[in-house]
Amino acid sequence: MAHSDGAGRCGARSHLRGAVGDRDSRDAHVESTEQVSGERLGEGHAVLSAAGLTPETYAGAAERLAGADPVLGGVVDRWGPPPFWRHPEGFGGLVQGILVQQVSLESAVALDLDRLAVAPDDEVRGALIAIRGIGRWTADVYLLFALRRPDAWPSGDLALAKAVGELWGLPALPDWDEPDAWAERWRPQRAAAARFLWHDYLSRRRRGSRWCARSAARS
């Protein structure tokens, strides 16, 4: 059912924790104000570890971001909470990430994904990039969606660059590396911030409302 206005509206910031739900991330890749430091975001809260986000820890991270950053809070006010998009863990999640890259699945099979599941982010990224055809973006997407690492950030993502430009009213599309510098303000919760930006990008193009409605129907 479609979301309604008022207290039951899917986008009400006061209902952020309860409304953030699980989502498959396949639809998230359609192409492709104050500064808030990581220290401030983590103040008074346990720092998110390398362990994967859960719906509960993701909701907490999203709530803190919305409260600390007025622009991200405005995303929730306009469109509702950003969904917890994710890929399956392990090989299935890697396959989803690399299919668009036309990477050899035989090469991917050679990875020890169980070991990577508990390895630090940099080690995971390095192991993936070592496979011919897998680049930084695919590795970061695997970290963010499949391993659900709390501070993963998909460098070079076009939709994120467009979202930054639209939300902060930039006169031109940011260069590919500008969103990376912009995202430093959201450490150590950049993975949640990325979902805010994708959520705004999709919702502006009327591609996000059906997810909001599904979340309300399933909550």
Q: Is 67 exposed, middle or buried (0-12, 13-18, 19+ CB in 10 A)?
A: middle
Predicted pLDDT at 48: 41
- Whole-prediction pTM: 0.74
**Predicted pLDDT at 95:** 62
Nearest one of 128, 135, 148 to 25, comparing CA atoms: 148
Q: How far apart are CA 20 and CA 9, in angstroms?
A: 13
Choose among 88, 72, 105: nearest CA to 200.
72
Q: What is the pLDDT of residue 5?
A: 31
81 is written with which tokens? 């909470």
Residue 217: which residues within 8 A CB-CB, separation 6 or more?
Answer: 1
Q: pLDDT at position 207, please? A: 66
- The topology under which CATH files domain 6-85+150-218 is Endonuclease Iii, domain 2 (1.10.1670)
pLDDT tens string, the chain, 219 residues long: the values are 223 333 333 444 555 665 565 554 434 433 433 333 333 454 433 344 457 999 999 999 999 999 999 999 999 999 999 999 988 776 666 666 655 555 556 666 777 888 899 999 999 999 999 988 788 998 999 999 999 999 999 999 999 999 999 999 999 999 988 999 999 999 999 999 999 999 999 999 986 545 444 433 333
Tell me the Cα Rg of the chain: 17
Q: What is the DSSP string of the chain?
A: ----SGGG-TT-GGGHHHH--EEESGGG-S-------HHHHHTTSPPP-SSPP-HHHHHHHHHHHHHH-HHHHHHHHHH-SPPEEEPPSTHHHHHHHHHTTT--HHHHHTS-HHHHTTS-HHHHHHHHHTSTT--HHHHHHIIIIIS--TT---TT-HHHHHHHHHHTT-SSPPPTTHHHHHGGGGTT-HHHHHHHHHHHHHHHTT-SHHHHHHHHHH-
CB contact at 8 A, 191 and 144: yes
- In this structure, what token pair is assigned to residue 179? 């969103």
